[in-house]
Amino acid sequence: MSSRLKVLVADDHPDSLDLLSELLTVYDVELRAARTGLEAIGIGLKWEPDILITDIAMPQADGRHLAGRLKLSLPTLVAIAVSGTPLNTDFESSQDLIFDEYFVKPIDFNRLHTTLTRLGVKLMGASSAPAPLGS
Instruction: Give the E-state strand segments of the chain in sequence order.
Output: 5-10, 29-34, 51-55, 78-83, 101-104
Name the superfamily (CATH) of residues 5-120: Response regulator (3.40.50.2300)
Amino acid 44: pLDDT = 98
Amino acid 40: pLDDT = 98
> pTM to 2 decimals?
0.86
Which residues share a beta bridge with 30? 6
Mean pLDDT within 84-112: 77
Amino acid 30: pLDDT = 97
Q: Decide if pLDDT at 133 tops 90.
A: no
| C-alpha–C-alpha distance, residues 117 and 135, integer Å | 15
Instruction: Compute the mean pLDDT over every residue in the chain, rounded to the nearest whole number.
Output: 86
Domain residues of the chain, as ranges? Answer: 5-120
Higher pLDDT, 114 or 124: 114
Amino acid 131: pLDDT = 40
